């Protein structure tokens, strides 16, 4: 069974938002809603500064609070690890939105269902990378199968120290952050 | 798992022209099955900005649904930036110009009536004929940016005016190209920029907004370099995106770059970091250079630049240590202080001393392309008067917009009475827009060929709506990355409403003016096919795949057989420029002091957003949602002193008391205390741009003056000071 995951190499992200634009078009995300974003966080005092670019998206948690919170069973976890929403079952109650600690979901106002990143499942089925990964200008986003030990994501996680967002929440994210090339001092 | 981009291409190549059925992933399950439409994949190239990346358009029926990068095309390599991804926002912008318009009210008050193309051409013809009679054909000037400019250039030739001008020269990279040409006989530009960033061991960036200025493959190279361990040194008063990736950030005092450069040259020579063999073989003027820079010590530079001495020395030693696989990247937007050619000379000299030209990790040599020229079937008339657009500068190498503007006001050396403007929003391009307005007052005719009702479009008498890059052919493009190739632009969808491609507009104008004999082709495509044939390129294949490489063009580095050619007077790299000396200009750059902002004022520094192309794209809905404001960066300590908090409403006041729109402030540690920064292109004054109108602050409006480069006439724009006013 595949075990999909994304690894984000923050040292290669330049905050260019090509990923967001690609996601919006690929998935026809409604105007002013987003399935992914890129944060720019600065610490320090002039001139001793550090700025981090942090792309964020649904973590496809193995222990997904949105799935547990969903009263209708619309939110579910696939065997390959992708957290999906069954649009026919979804009643738009927003319980999942409240439960998600990562602010990854929105309501599609036109149709009234909750929506979020799907790891571009429709593309995976056609053997294509997720849209944000395929266009990432910095090649900062890397996607693949953790059950394959030779995959790039497996290799990157084996070779680098990785982090997940809000580890303490116990959600077990499948989006991992690395800084492959720390700036040499 | 075998997810590869190659599969995508295969699919694209197979189906271009043909049609496949596809399931739509977007429909709600259980909702009625959507009618499956034809899906086509059409390759072309982007013009959301001027990098012109290869793209593959996915078209469903008549509608463009997705744009992706063409993996074959070296400017995109399968990827498109946010702007490129959002091309449909331009194509389907409800505010787009849809039909020709003729002004009915006063200039600038926005009153127009719809007109047919013939009416619009007749209006133009009548005015042009009168101008020719009274002032001569040279009194018509062109301002052009982008692919369409060439066709209007042809019209100007046919008409008999030499007055073409390009904001990309005087308001952007002109001085850099001139400086490098004086030094190496050639500028570093190609269809890309010839910096080998992916292979650079150490790279120094001067005020470059790499990453904020999104030029696709350029940024890919930059990040690949970081991935390969490039040590990055960034010289910038602002902790830019590039600076965030650096191992050394030198927050230099604005306007003092030349001091740092001269000290670096001095250190390179004194400490023996330069490439002896390379200089001996390829360069002249070393002795004179050595003599001229000997007093520019690190101590002296530290005082001028406000940088610690050890940092100045450390940085250049790092470059020296890894020469010649290093790069002193001069940046692209170059018109800063009016001594920009000399700054460029300094950077060119540094690159020469470190031996980077033609070296891995430095500046690669252009690809070898030997393409025959189509025989010109026509001969344009020779204008009776010389172009006034080059101004009175010994080394101006393209038409200068502000020279045309000045001549329009003064009538000297001869009057300019009509402006044709294509693809450039002059009100946001030339500094001091009130001068632009004054010039426009003197005109008998202003014609704009554009897609959107920009500030400048709304100043014109006749508006001609142009087809977008997604709806038209443009001439075959010779792409010159390390490898060269030919790319095609072709319509991916039918033009909507009553718009026309620029080549057709130019031809029709020719016909209308009785200049039919100067029309080179009936359809551009026929001309493209002819060229392809001459070049031995299979046109039909090209239109299927989008890009075809030219074999054996790759010769980026110096080898015994691949020697560089320097097209200077001496045929060598000129460290000391006799060409400049002959014109009584400094043959080796000298430090000149620039005025500094008085207390309570800040130097205005402007830059780019990776999701906007100047003011061109600000009404694009899909980019608007990513960036629709340009908060002014203000140093955190200063903000505290002024009682200003992050996000507060503010306005800027320029040196003539002019007040900007009300905008927001970004309080940040990422900038020096003596300057403020904002993204260029915001603050549209055009009510017809319904998303962009009135949003953000217009930096150009804050520029009351500019510093003219005496060598080549470009406009230094970072010489303006502003005050910051808290708004409630
Ligand atoms: S994987 Fe697909 S849906 Fe998820 S953020 Fe990327 S583009 Fe959007
Ligand atoms: S496209 Fe890649 S480099 Fe650009 S912001 Fe997104 S993750 Fe970062
Ligand atoms: S860099 Fe972006 S906007 Fe510019 S041509 Fe390439 S894809 Fe288009």
A140: closest chain B residue by CA: B223
The answer to whether residues B29 and B121 belong to one domain is: no
* DSSP annotation of A139: -
Determine the Cα angle at B476 with ends B210 and B505, to 5°: 100
Q: Could you tell me the pTM of the whole model?
A: 0.94
The answer to whether residues B358 and B424 belong to one domain is: no
Are the Cβ atoms of B669 and A49 closer than 8 angstroms? yes
CA distance B257 to B641: 28
CATH number, domain containing residue B147: 3.40.50.740
Per DSSP, the three-state class of B632 is strand
The answer to whether residues B175 and B213 belong to one domain is: yes
Average pLDDT for residues B343-356, to the nearest whole number?
98
The answer to whether residues B87 and B147 belong to one domain is: no
Interface confidence, given as ipTM, is: 0.96
CATH number, domain containing residue B69: 2.20.25.90
The answer to whether residues B164 and B175 belong to one domain is: no
- With b for 16 or more beta-carbon neighbours within 10 A and e for fewer, the B431-442 pattern comes to bbbebbeebbee
* Shortest CA gap A34–chain B (Å): 10
Q: Residue B561 domain-assigned?
A: no
The answer to whether residues B268 and B325 belong to one domain is: yes
pLDDT band, residue B236 (cuts 50/70/90): very high
CA distance B286 to B588: 10
pLDDT digits (tens, 9 = 90+) for A142-168: 999 999 999 999 999 999 999 999 999
Q: Residue B636 domain-assigned?
A: yes
Q: What is the number of domains present in chain B?
A: 4
Among candidates A47, A121, A135 on the partner chain, residue whose Cβ is nearest the Cβ of B85:
A135
Q: Residue B589 domain-assigned?
A: no
Q: Give the best residue of B7, B25, B610 to mutate against chain A (max A CB count within 10 A).
A: B25
CATH number, domain containing residue B261: 3.40.228.10
The answer to whether residues B500 and B480 belong to one domain is: yes
pLDDT digits (tens, 9 = 90+) for B256-271: 999 999 999 999 999 9
Q: Is the pLDDT of residue B19 over 50?
A: no
Among candidates A24, A47, A128 on the partner chain, residue whose Cβ is nearest the Cβ of B8:
A128
Among candidates B85, B223, B610 on the partner chain, residue whose Cβ is nearest the Cβ of A25:
B85
Q: Residue B562 domain-assigned?
A: no
The answer to whether residues B264 and B300 belong to one domain is: yes
* DSSP annotation of B520: -
Q: Which residues constitute the domain of residue B691?
A: 602-726
Which atom of ligand 2 is found nearest the CA of A38?
A: 5
The answer to whether residues B545 and B469 belong to one domain is: yes
Q: Which residues of A touch B251 (CB under 8 A)?
A: 46-47
Q: Residue B645 domain-assigned?
A: yes
- The encoded tokens of residue B713 equal 């006439």
- The encoded tokens of residue B287 equal 């002795």
Q: Which residues of B touch A49 (CB under 8 A)?
A: 239, 244, 249, 669-670
pLDDT digits (tens, 9 = 90+) for B484-526: 999 999 999 999 879 999 999 999 999 999 999 999 999 999 9
Q: Residue B389 domain-assigned?
A: yes
The answer to whether residues B186 and B294 belong to one domain is: yes
pLDDT score at B25: 37
| Last residue within a domain, chosen from B91, B123, B147 | B91
Return the CATH number of the domain spanning residue range A4-62+118-178.
Answer: 3.30.70.20
The answer to whether residues B321 and B335 belong to one domain is: yes
pLDDT (tens, 9 = 90+) of chain A, 185 residues, equals 999 999 999 999 999 999 999 999 999 999 999 999 999 999 999 999 999 999 999 999 999 999 999 999 999 999 999 999 999 999 999 999 999 999 999 999 999 999 999 999 999 999 999 999 999 999 999 999 999 999 999 999 999 999 999 999 999 999 999 998 544 43
pLDDT band, residue B375 (cuts 50/70/90): confident
Which atom of ligand 3 is found nearest the CA of B47?
A: 5
The answer to whether residues B112 and B176 belong to one domain is: no
CA-closest residue to ligand 1 atom 7: A23
Beta strands in B159-292 (DSSP E): 164-165, 202-206, 231-235, 248-250, 283-284
CA distance B634 to B602: 9
Q: Residue B96 domain-assigned?
A: no
* DSSP annotation of A182: P
Are the Cβ atoms of B86 and A50 closer than 8 angstroms? no
CA distance B132 to B447: 16
Query: To test the ligand 1 pocket, which listed residue (A30, A120, A125) has its Cβ within 8 A of the most ligand atoms?
Result: A120
Cα(B325) to centroid of ligand 2, in Å?
Answer: 27
Q: Which residues of B touch A181 (CB under 8 A)?
A: 226-227, 229
Are the Cβ atoms of B219 and A53 closer than 8 angstroms? no
Q: Residue B555 domain-assigned?
A: no
From the CA of A131, which ligand is nearest?
1
State the alpha helices, DSSP H only, in A125-180: 131-135, 152-159
Average pLDDT for residues B419-428, to the nearest whole number?
98
pLDDT score at B36: 56
């Amino acid at each position: 069974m595949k075990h999909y995951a994304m690894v984000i190499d923050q040292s290669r992200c330049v905050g260019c938002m090509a990923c967001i634009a690609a996601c919006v078009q690929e998935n026809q995300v409604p105007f002013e809603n987003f399935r992914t974003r890129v944060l720019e966080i600065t610490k320090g005092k002039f001139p001793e500064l550090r700025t981090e670019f942090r792309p964020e998206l649904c973590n496809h948690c193995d222990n997904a609070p949105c799935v547990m919170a969903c009263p209708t069973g619309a939110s579910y976890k696939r065997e390959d690890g992708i957290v999906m929403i069954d649009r026919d079952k979804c009643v738009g109650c927003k319980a999942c939105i409240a439960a998600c600690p990562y602010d990854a979901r929105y309501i599609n106002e036109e149709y009234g269902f909750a929506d979020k990143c799907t790891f571009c499942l429709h593309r995976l089925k056609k053997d294509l990378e997720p849209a944000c990964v395929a266009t990432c200008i910095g090649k900062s986003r890397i996607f693949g199968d953790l059950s394959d030990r030779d995959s790039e994501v497996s290799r990157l996680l084996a070779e680098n120290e990785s982090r997940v967002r809000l580890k303490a929440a116990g959600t077990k994210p499948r989006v991992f952050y690395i800084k492959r090339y720390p700036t040499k001092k | 798992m075998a997810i590869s981009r190659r599969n995508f291409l295969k699919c694209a190549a197979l189906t271009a022209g043909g049609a496949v059925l596809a399931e739509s992933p977007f429909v709600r399950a259980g909702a009625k099955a959507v009618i499956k439409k034809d899906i086509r994949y059409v390759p072309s190239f982007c013009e959301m900005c001027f990098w012109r990346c290869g793209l593959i358009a996915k078209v469903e029926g008549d509608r463009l649904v997705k744009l992706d990068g063409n993996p074959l095309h070296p400017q995109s390599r399968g990827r498109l930036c946010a702007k490129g991804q959002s091309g449909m926002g331009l194509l389907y912008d409800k505010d787009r110009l849809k039909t020709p318009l003729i002004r009915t009210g006063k200039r600038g008050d926005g009153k127009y009536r719809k007109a047919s193309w013939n009416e619009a051409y007749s209006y133009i013809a009548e005015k042009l004929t009168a101008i020719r009679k009274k002032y001569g054909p040279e009194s018509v000037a062109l301002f052009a940016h982008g692919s369409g400019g060439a066709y209007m250039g042809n019209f100007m030739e046919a008409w008999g005016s030499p007055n073409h001008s390009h904001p990309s020269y005087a308001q952007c990279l002109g001085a850099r190209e001139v400086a490098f040409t004086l030094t190496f006989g050639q500028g570093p530009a190609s269809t890309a920029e010839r910096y080998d960033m992916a292979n650079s061991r150490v790279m120094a960036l001067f005020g470059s907004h790499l990453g904020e200025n999104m030029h696709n493959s350029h940024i890919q190279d930059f990040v690949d370099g970081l991935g390969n361990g490039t040590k990055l040194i960034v010289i910038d008063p602002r902790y830019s995106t590039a600076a965030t990736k650096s191992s050394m950030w030198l927050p230099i005092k604005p306007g003092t770059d030349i001091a740092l450069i001269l000290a670096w040259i001095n250190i390179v020579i004194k400490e023996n970091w330069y490439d002896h063999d390379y200089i001996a073989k390829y360069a002249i003027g070393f002795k004179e250079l050595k003599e001229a820079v000997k007093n520019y010590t690190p101590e002296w530079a530290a005082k001028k630049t406000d940088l610690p001495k050890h940092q100045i020395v450390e940085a250049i030693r790092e470059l020296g240590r890894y020469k010649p696989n290093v790069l002193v990247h001069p940046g692209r937007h170059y018109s800063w202080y009016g001594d920009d050619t000399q700054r460029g000379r300094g950077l060119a000299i540094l690159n020469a001393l470190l031996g980077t030209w033609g070296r891995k990790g430095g500046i690669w040599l252009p690809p070898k392309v030997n393409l025959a020229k189509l025989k010109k079937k026509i001969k344009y008339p020779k204008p009776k008067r010389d172009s006034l657009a080059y101004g009175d500068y010994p080394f101006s190498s393209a038409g200068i917009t502000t020279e045309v503007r000045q001549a329009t006001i003064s009538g000297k050396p001869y009057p300019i009475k009509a402006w044709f403007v294509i693809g450039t929003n002059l009100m946001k391009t030339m500094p001091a827009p009130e001068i632009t307005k004054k010039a426009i007052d003197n005109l008998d005719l202003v014609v704009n060929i554009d897609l959107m009702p920009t500030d400048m479009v709304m100043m014109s008498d006749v508006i001609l709506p142009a087809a977008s890059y997604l709806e038209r052919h443009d001439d075959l493009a010779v792409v010159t990355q390390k490898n060269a190739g030919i790319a095609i632009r072709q319509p991916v969808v039918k033009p909507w409403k009553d718009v026309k491609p620029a080549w057709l507009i130019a031809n029709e104008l020719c016909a209308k003016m009785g200049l039919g004999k100067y029309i080179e082709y009936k359809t551009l495509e026929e001309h493209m096919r002819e060229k392809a044939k001459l070049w031995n390129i299979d046109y039909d294949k090209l239109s299927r795949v989008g890009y075809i490489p030219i074999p054996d063009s790759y010769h980026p580095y110096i080898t015994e057989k691949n020697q560089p050619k320097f097209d200077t007077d001496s045929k060598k790299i000129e460290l000391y420029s006799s060409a400049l000396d002959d014109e009584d200009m400094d043959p080796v750059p000298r430090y000149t002091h620039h005025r500094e902002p008085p207390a309570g004022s800040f130097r205005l520094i402007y830059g780019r957003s990776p999701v906007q192309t100047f003011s061109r794209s600000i009404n694009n809905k899909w980019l608007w949602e990513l960036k629709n404001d340009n908060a002014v960066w203000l140093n955190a300590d200063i903000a505290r002193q002024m009682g200003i908090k992050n996000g507060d409403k503010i306005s800027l006041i320029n040196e003539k008391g002019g007040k900007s729109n009300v905008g927001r402030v970004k309080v940040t540690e990422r900038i020096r205390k003596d300057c403020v920064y904002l993204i260029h292109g915001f603050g549209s004054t055009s009510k017809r741009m319904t998303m962009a109108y009135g949003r953000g602050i217009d930096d150009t409006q804050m520029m009351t003056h500019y510093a003219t480069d005496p060598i080549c006439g470009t406009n230094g724009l970072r010489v303006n000071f502003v005050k910051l006013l808290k708004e409630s």
